Structure 1
Amino acid sequence: MRKLTQLFIFAAALFSICSHAQPRTAFVHLFEWQWNDIASECENVLGPKGYAAVQVSPPQKSVSSSQWWSRYQPVSYAIEGRSGNRNEFASMVSRCKNAGVDIYVDAVINHMAAGGRYYPEVPYYAEHFHTCYGQIDYGNRWQVQNCDLVGLNDLATEQDYVRTKIANYLNDLTNLGVAGFRFDAAKHIPVGDIAAIKAKLIGNPYIFQEVIGAPGEPIQPSEYTYLADVTEFNFTKSVSHFFKGRGPIKELKNIGTWGGWVASADAVTFVANHDNQRQDTNNTITHKDGDNRNTMAHVFMLGWPYGYPKVMSSYEWYDHDQGPPAHGASSCNSGWLCEHRTPAIANMVAFRNFTADEFRVTNYWDNGNNQIAWGRGGKGFVVINMEGNNLTRTFQTGMPAGRYCDIISGNYNASNKSCSGNIIDVDNNGNAVITAYYRNGAAIHVGAIVEDCDGTDCCTNCPTEKVETTFSCSNGSTYWGQSVYVIGNQEELGNWNPAHAVKLDASAYPTWTGTIELTQNTDVEWKCLKRDEQTPSNGVVWQGGANNQFNTGTTNAYPTGSF
């Protein structure tokens, strides 16, 4: 089993003397992406940003249907489907490997598609399946591991014939260069059967198993950790609870240590996966949550030393079954969300890589509510502010003295040591004055140091002077669940994306107001906007007429708009 933390610490120690090589410590799920688009993404984004691997959708031939879940109804182990053919898959694996990015295949090995128990392309016949068809009682171990899961034909994985067919499929993928596997629905396969299948595999692929634990159930993730890593669903539940505002995020300071959790070295963590973001949206952080919650939850996951984190990158959906957009994902528009490209998320991948050999929390601070900060042993420091006002204070970072790029507010350019965002100065005592805007954060690490250039800053925009701007939208009558937002042509105003607009306060209803810090002397175009709080694409009403315009100047501004 791959013990990630220990491997990363060893790798960092091994290379620290002779090179600047950094371990890769986080991966991404490019859900329903096509093979050619993934190859390009590895070369142009994932490799340069430091992602370790991509989890790809199941590549085997499945039922012909548009729903996303059709990929989890295999009819054979041939490499073909809507993501591309076998040659394109092999090319993707090779191109990603050349970019330093591994491929993890989502392997459906518990079952075959619903329907008759006959799959001539494998071949599987009726005798290769269990014969329990009823609804599963999850308090009954035998039923969980021998009955059809939501009508999908359950393979008799205790049979050597079935184990060999599964192993042949996985070995074929390994021969194509695949580096690892996610075992879908592993909870529904006895751990001894998985051990027997694993014993037939060639090489030493990385494996993580989908095992959803629940209190009182007989099957728990801890049974499977001796074989390989497991998915830690407690992590996604806890992070979602607190980042949805159902409790102060300072409670997360002990995450991973609570009873029943998988040890960090055995855990794959995620803010959301392709299942729970659709099936349990109300209790799972997704892009549908406003106030920058999805991004900041990922910042927390990538900054906190627990588990092997997986970034979820999906597409827009309006119902549970909706399949992916018909066109490719590489352009990241018209439905494709590409959360992994969000600068704060992508830049935190480098943060995790550069702090891997300090896999611990130091210099922890919180305000007793929704503002937290922590260090990583002098290699990095993170601040998260999920309250409705800006946070500025002096932090003891534990970092060496220097000028650092805030990778949440901008991108770091390693070639000339420049920064497009804010610069954070750490003094000789490790102290730094850090500002984290509301529903936002700040982060620095030793891989993003800005040179002084003989007294002239090398950053392209540092430090950025801000001015408080108080927006007002009148006549903002709304229905229950709908609110008024400000939206505009600045990043702080959502760049005209309703999902990223800034919610205003309704204390003077139907006039809504809110104060936002914008860059000084900047021409701003903006409008008032109504939308649903939970689903940004619903209930959308734009302020009529031309865009409102003003310049922020150097003192506080008070722009007004009206529906």
Structure 2
Amino acid sequence: MLRRSVVVAAVAVALALGLSACASAAAQPKESASIPAGITGVGVEMFQRPWTSIGTECGSTLGPAGFSWVLTSPPQEHITGTQWWTSYQPVSYTVDSKLGTEQQFADMVKACRAAGVKVIADAVINHMTAQGAGTGFAGTAFTKYAYPGLYGPKDFHHCTLTPDGSIQDYTSRAQVQTCELVGLADLDTASAHVRTTIAGYLTHLLGLGVAGFRIDAAKHMAAEDVAAIVAMLPKGTPVISEVIRGAEEPIQPEEYTRIGQVFEFAYARELGPQLTAGVLMDPARADHVPSASAVVFVDNHDTERGDAAVTYRDGPLDLMADALMLADDYGTPVVYSGYAFSDPDAGPPQDASGHVTGWECAGATGPKASYADGEGVCAEAWKSIAGMIEWRDAAGAAERRPGVSKGAAYGFERTGRAVIAANPGSSPATLAVPTTLPAGTYCDVIADGPSMDGCAGGATVRVSDGAATFDLDAGQTAAIHLGATG
């Protein structure tokens, strides 16, 4: 989690700025000797989508498109308000929120599982709220350090390292892991009672059919605390820890790979600026965790409000970034699907009762030139994303060969299986990508979507003399694979 907005404009600014000081890479700590099994396949984060909406989308879109898992927003009672970040200020572990009831959540999980899509729930376990007192969405009364049936003052860190008890220095491990993140009441996750209470909540979600968890703000908990909580769950439960890599900071993602996978923020920081500069090149990855430990993304609900170089506002570049990520042989990819906003604090549309109303994605086939505030981006429904999931399946475990470029155009092959080319430049380009694919005519699954039965849309690429020749307009991406021929 980036720095959360609380109730004042200064905190909103902190959120927008995020952890920009963390942008450059740091030296890797020693890698764990073993890597736990994690979530696989292609995921999609459906940010602030109601449970009923996700359940419907699993059957109509996610399953048919080939998504393996969906990441939901946090399923617990939270403070009231229209801002998106209210979901990240828990007041109880009751599964009743602006996104729906426990029964609706369970029905969603069941519908997704029936469609072959696993549910990964965002777990906010580092902290509770920053509010002095109030009543939660489901009616729970609380104060900042007292939550009925859960926690009292002794269950929290009460940091004396800074004047206001909040984190001020990210080079201080003690501050990052015992002081408050923008005033949010910081749970003492070294406490046996706190660990047991959190594990009980996560176990309840598993009982509702959840497959695993995103551990929000994992960086703000000692790795041994996270490990102890996860050890109370059934063996093999997938977890993905949010640990933002920061230059010259003592806490790095590598500390958490012995627990499960981690979000590798360096991936987007490398890819995004290349796209906006119009100069693509082979990745360096000197500061990345091992591929099996990495969950990668172009942007997410935090970074699109902070330091993401490419977001839904960039249209073809956003699609290009997702396509290149899905074509890569590094990490487990998660596509991001949120909603448009001009105010970074703005939540999605809500009804008079405060419930999120959701949005329909029927008819959405690709990125739009512009969006109205509150309108769903619907990336999960883009035909090019489904085409690239098919492309990724066709590529399988084939190695990524070194890329080639000509001007702004760049492309690479997954040996003998699939080829992709992209042109982030402002002028058309022709690029010949060396390939071991057999000579012939291949379907462009970016332009036409999945095409195992022939090039229904008519967009094709010719392979001859050991090269796939792509004629690319400015901002265009094209991709072919062994199973889609004309």
1:218 is paired with a residue whose SS is: coil
Q: Is the 8 A contact 1:305 1:361 kept in 2?
A: yes
Matched, 1:379 2:417: yes
Q: Is the 8 A contact 1:355 1:380 kept in 2?
A: yes
Q: Which residue is equivalent to 2:224?
A: 192
Change (3 A) 1:127 1:275: same
CA distance in 1, matches of 2:185, 2:426: 50
CA distance in 1, matches of 2:280, 2:460: 26
Q: Is the 8 A contact 2:444 2:455 kept in 1?
A: no
Q: Which residue is equivalent to 1:249?
A: 280
Q: Which residue is equivalent to 2:297?
A: 270
Instruction: Give 1:305 shift.
Output: 1.5
Instruction: Give 1:85 shift.
Output: 0.6
1:419 is paired with a residue whose SS is: coil
Residue 304 of structure 1, aligned match among 325, 328, 338: 328
Q: Is the 8 A contact 2:146 2:153 kept in 1?
A: no
Q: After superposition, where does 1:67-146 map in structure 2 within 5 Å?
A: 67-114=83-130, 115=132, 116-132=143-159, 133-136=164-167, 137-146=169-178
CA distance in 1, matches of 2:36, 2:62: 21
Q: CA offsets per residue over residues 325-354 of structure 1, 9 Å max, x none? A: 233223468611112222223321221222
Q: Which residue is equivalent to 1:328?
A: 358
Residue 390 of structure 2, aligned match among 350, 355, 368: 350
Q: Which residue is equivalent to 1:287?
A: 312
Q: Is the 8 A contact 1:363 1:396 kept in 2?
A: no
1:378 is paired with a residue whose SS is: coil
Q: After superposition, where does 1:501-540 map in structure 2 within 5 Å?
A: none
Bigger drift between 333-342 and 221-230 goes to: 333-342
Q: Is the 8 A contact 1:212 1:221 kept in 2?
A: yes
Q: After superposition, where does 1:362-511 map in structure 2 within 5 Å?
A: 362=401, 364-367=403-406, 369-414=407-452, 416-427=453-464, 429-450=465-486
More strand by share: 1
Instruction: Give 1:319 shift.
Output: 0.9
Change (3 A) 1:107 1:122: farther
Q: CA offsets per residue over residues 196-230 of structure 1, 9 Å max, x none? A: 10110024221110001211111111111111111
Q: Is the 8 A contact 2:46 2:70 kept in 1?
A: yes
1:345 is paired with a residue whose SS is: helix
Matched, 1:179 2:211: yes
Q: After superposition, where does 1:217-228 map in structure 2 within 5 Å?
A: 217-228=249-260
**Which AA in structure 1 matches 2:122?**
D
Residue 154 of structure 1, aligned match among 186, 189, 197: 186
CA distance in 2, matches of 1:47, 1:126: 45
Q: CA offsets per residue over residues 166-218 of structure 1, 9 Å max, x none? A: 10111111111111110000000001101110110024221110001211111
CA distance in 2, matches of 1:232, 1:289: 22
TM (norm. structure 1) is: 0.71
Instruction: Give 1:381 shift.
Output: 0.3
Matched, 1:206 2:244: no
CA distance in 2, matches of 1:188, 1:317: 28
CA distance in 2, matches of 1:121, 1:446: 59
Change (3 A) 1:395 1:279: closer
1:312 is paired with a residue whose SS is: strand
1:61 is paired with a residue whose SS is: coil
In structure 2, stretches of 5+ residues that fail to align are: 1-34, 133-142, 351-356, 365-371
2:110 is paired with a residue whose SS is: helix
1:277 is paired with a residue whose SS is: helix
**Which AA in structure 2 matches 1:88?**
Q
CA distance in 1, matches of 2:444, 2:404: 18
Instruction: Give 1:287 shift.
Output: 1.5
- Aligned CA RMSD, in angstroms, stands at 1.9
Q: After superposition, where does 1:5-24 map in structure 2 within 5 Å?
A: none
**Which AA in structure 2 matches 1:426?**
V
2:314 is paired with a residue whose SS is: coil
Instruction: Give 1:424 shift.
Output: 2.4
**Which AA in structure 1 matches 2:289?**
V
Change (3 A) 1:174 1:51: same
Aligned length: 420
Instruction: Give 1:396 shift.
Output: 2.5
In structure 1, stretches of 5+ residues that fail to align are: 8-23, 451-563
CA distance in 2, matches of 1:120, 1:395: 60
1:273 is paired with a residue whose SS is: coil
Looking at CA atoms only, which structure, 1 or 2, has the larger radius of gyration?
Answer: 1
CA distance in 2, matches of 1:384, 1:110: 40
Bigger drift between 331-340 and 75-84 goes to: 331-340
